[in-house]
Amino acid sequence: AQPLYTYLDGPKRLIVPLPLLDIDGEIDVLREKFADAERVFRLQARPATPSSLTSLLTLGCTMLHYSGHGADDLLCLEKPGATGEPHFLTSASLAAYFGGAAGVSRPKLVFVSACSSESAGRAFVDAGIAHVVAVQQGDRLSDEDARLFAGEFYLSLLTGHTVRQAFDAGRACVDISRTSANPSGAGRAGGAPGEPERFLLLGPPGADHGEVIFPLGALRVGPYADETPPAPLNLCDRGPSKLIGRRWELHRLLEKLRSSACCIVEGKKGQGKTALAICAADYAARRQAFREIHFFSLRQARRTSGFGLGLGSGGLGLGSGGGG
């Protein structure tokens, strides 16, 4: 999930932009590890909205991996509509849904790859999930640590190791990386001496996590099947991997695109109008908001000082003016 902002309730609601996470980088690393494992299974990667989560659980899955923002007692999903609006899922809601909804197929393992996800992880355990990986309450999870740990963890699981062995392999991978960068060992996955664990393996009381989710021979040798819906045609240049600031403006632009036939981003030269519009197109494409996205350069029109976005029949057109 990659919502663009959150808010703090009070006498006056305060909008707080959320940092953009490198979720694509995490998914790319997982796909590489899945290919290395050479096991036949099915994978789907989707934006985490309430409807995508419930559909996935109704259809059934063996493992559920959430990557996104977390706080002390909630996960931050996206609301439908591809505008970056947040949907807050509390730990109590998680436990109630997983524990009591009829027709729900509970996964054997849940990985909550988010900062301070311990509370959400324990809610999954309360709902009957046997193995849950989460992050220590109050601890922040870097993109690099998330990639390193998850990649080694899933590679170990898919090649016949127990959940505990896979968890230890993931921690060791992060520890080795951190130790080489920081000889003192501070900030390691397992915690420096006297510090709490960063990654947690949670389960019911007395759980030893000795289960082998994929025993040798249970999965055929061969390539995995990536059933992620293909992204629509997007002829825009690749946007910046991380847009510095502008998350609220990005949300407002996406919101306008859902309701208007034409939007114009105005501003002085060099303020990032083109980058903002391309990021909006990329965000919308990843969420299947349009069937096609086209880019037209109008730099010859030197008097133009804006960036226009036109919405057609299921398509999005972007025009870059001479104003930059």
Q: What is the percentage of the chain residues whose pLDDT exceeds 90?
A: 38
Half-sphere exposure of 114 (CA within 13 A, CB side): 28
pLDDT of the residue at 195: 43
Q: What per-residue string of b and e applies to 52-72 under the rule 16 or more CB within 10 Å gives b?
A: bbeebbeeebebbbbbbbbbe
Residue at 74 is within a domain: yes
E strand segments, 243-283: 262-266
Q: Are residues 284 and 189 in the same domain?
A: no
273 or 321, greater pLDDT: 273
Q: Is residue 323 part of a domain?
A: no
Bridge-based pairing of strands 233-234 and 225-226 is: unpaired
Same domain (yes/no): 114, 61: yes
Q: Residue 98, class by beta-carbon neighbours within 10 Å (0-12 exposed, 13-18 middle, 19+ buried)?
A: buried
Residues 53 and 169 in one domain: yes
Which domain-ending residue is among 172, 199, 226? Answer: 226
DSSP of 274-313, one letter per residue?
HHHHHHHHHHHHHTT--SEEEEEE-TT-TT--EEEEEE-S
Asked whether residue 87 falls in the same domain as residue 150, the answer is: yes
DSSP secondary-structure letter at 43?
E
Q: What percent of the chain has pLDDT over 70?
A: 81
The arithmetic mean of pLDDT across residues 25-41, rounded, is 94
Other C-beta atoms closer than 10 Å to the C-beta of 11 total 5
pLDDT tens per residue across span 58-112: 888 999 999 999 877 888 999 999 999 999 988 888 877 776 655 567 899 999 9
Instruction: Kindly state whether residue 312 falls inside one of the protein's structural domains.
Output: no
- Between 32 and 293, name the one with better pLDDT: 32
Whether residue 71 is found in the same domain as residue 113: yes
Specify whether 36 is located in the same domain as 116. yes
Domain boundary among 226, 251, 268: 226
- Is 190 part of a structural domain of the chain? yes
Is the same domain home to 97 and 121? Answer: yes
Q: Is residue 138 over pLDDT 80?
A: no
CA angle at 68 for the pair 175 and 205, rounded to the nearest 5°: 65
Tens of pLDDT, residues 147-200: 999 999 999 999 999 999 999 999 999 999 877 655 555 544 555 443 447 899
Phi, psi of 290 (to 5 degrees): -135, 155
* pLDDT value of residue 261: 72
- Measured at the alpha carbon of residue 45, what is the angle toward residues 44 and 51, in degrees to the nearest 5? 90
pLDDT tens-digit profile of 206-218?
Answer: 888 999 999 988 8
Indicate if 259 and 167 belong to the same structural domain: no
Q: Which domain holds residue 290?
A: 233-297
C-alpha angle 155-70-143 in degrees, rounded to nearest 5 = 45
Residue 192 sits in the same domain as residue 273: no
**Average per-residue pLDDT in the chain?**
83
Distance (Å, rounded) from C-alpha 110 to C-alpha 318?
40
Measured N-to-C along each axis, helices 91-100 and 118-126 cross at an angle, to the nearest 10 degrees, of: 20
134 neighbors 148 (Cβ within 8 angstroms): no
**What's CA 311's distance to the chain center, in Å?**
27
> Rounded to whole angstroms, how far apart are CA atoms 9 and 44?
35
Name the band, by pLDDT with cuts 50, 70 and 90, for residue 53: confident
Q: How many domains does the chain have?
A: 2
Residue with tokens 């062995």: 165
User: Residue 171 domain-assigned?
Assistant: yes
More confident: 41 or 297: 41
Both structure tokens of 105: 């197929």
Greatest extent of the chain over all pairs of C-alpha atoms, in Å: 71
Q: Which residues, including other chains, have CB under 8 Å from residue 55's CB and lie 6 or more apart?
A: none
User: What phi and psi, each to the nearest 5 degrees, are found at residue 111?
Assistant: -115, 115
Question: How many other β-carbons are positioned within 10 Å of the β-carbon of residue 311?
Answer: 17
Residues 172 and 264 in one domain: no
258 and 209 part of one domain: no
